[in-house]
């Protein structure tokens, strides 16, 4: 009887150990299954949204041939027309642009030179009817939550619906002297560092075209937006 009792006790102990091991194994499998079924975190986000900030408003990538600047949306120009796409916050025209930039227009000029862009410098205050020259540029925007780069022109309503032709117009001396702060003008400009050569100088002032921010594309007023200029 004693032997049978000992054997019974041993059998119960072994069974208990096996049951415990099975519970641990199931718990481990359940944990792995939960981890694998959880949605992945959005590590990609918007590609350039964190590359610049108010404290670091300009970033140059010589290998990628890009210049990025930190800006904020000015929703006033969802309604009112303007010829100013991007303007430095301390420039004379800072309150007149769809995007207010924290990067100085002169630093921006030097950044374009650093990636190999060539300024056109073919306009002056008396060259109405001429289009800006200089290296062609692709211009895109993005912001936290956008998830992609968006062509700059998609953010602008253009009453003539022309395909944009963004150029490194140059104009550094006038940019320093007049200090409008103009980084990107929506028609050809003798002061802006870059401008849209699809519209000759004087197109907006001559009421041949109007430009507005596209409220159906852009985020709300004051939203930080990264503007990227890429040398073609």
Q: HSE, CB side, 13 Å, CA atoms: give it for residue 45.
A: 9
Write down the residue that tokens 């117009």 correspond to.
169
Q: What pLDDT, on the 0 to 100 scale, is given for residue 45? A: 33
Which residues of the chain are modeled with pLDDT < 50?
A: 1-49
Distances, alpha carbon 112 to alpha carbons 14, 56, 72, in Å: 76, 17, 21
CB within 8 Å of 223: residues ≥ 6 apart:
72, 73, 143
Closest to 69 measured CA to CA, from 89, 91, 44: 89
pLDDT for the residue 50: 58
Q: Where are the domains of the chain?
A: 1-38, 58-231
State how far the Cα of 166 lies from the Cα of 90, in Å rounded to an integer: 23
The overall pTM is greater than 0.85: no
| One-character DSSP codes across 42-89 | --S-STTTTT--SSS-EEEETTTTEEEEEEEE-GGGGTS--SEEEEET
- pLDDT (0 to 100) of residue 51: 86
At 29, list the tokens.
């499998």
- CA pair distance 189, 34, nearest whole angstrom: 58
Supply the pLDDT for residue 214. Answer: 98
């Amino acid at each position: 009887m004693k032997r049978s009792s000992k054997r019974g006790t041993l059998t119960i102990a072994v069974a208990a150990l096996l049951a415990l091991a099975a519970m641990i194994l199931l718990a481990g499998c359940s944990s792995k299954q939960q981890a694998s079924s959880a949605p992945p975190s959005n590590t990609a986000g918007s590609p350039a949204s964190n590359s610049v900030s108010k404290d670091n408003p300009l970033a140059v990538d010589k290998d990628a041939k890009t210049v990025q600047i930190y800006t904020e949306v000015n929703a006033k120009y969802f309604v009112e027309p303007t010829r100013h796409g991007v303007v430095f916050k301390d420039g004379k025209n800072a309150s007149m642009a769809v995007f207010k930039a924290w990067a100085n227009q002169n630093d921006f000029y030097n950044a374009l030179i650093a990636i190999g862009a060539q300024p056109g410098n073919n306009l002056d205050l008396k060259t109405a009817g001429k289009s800006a020259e200089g290296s062609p540029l692709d211009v895109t925007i993005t912001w936290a939550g956008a998830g992609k780069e968006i062509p700059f022109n998609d953010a602008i309503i253009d009453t003539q619906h022309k395909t944009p032709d963004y150029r490194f117009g140059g104009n550094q001396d006038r940019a320093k002297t007049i200090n409008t702060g103009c980084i990107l003008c929506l028609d050809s400009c003798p002061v802006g560092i870059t401008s849209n050569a699809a519209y000759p100088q004087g197109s907006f002032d001559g009421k041949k075209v109007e430009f507005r921010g596209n409220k159906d594309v852009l985020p709300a007023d004051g939203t930080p937006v990264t503007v990227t200029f890429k040398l073609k």
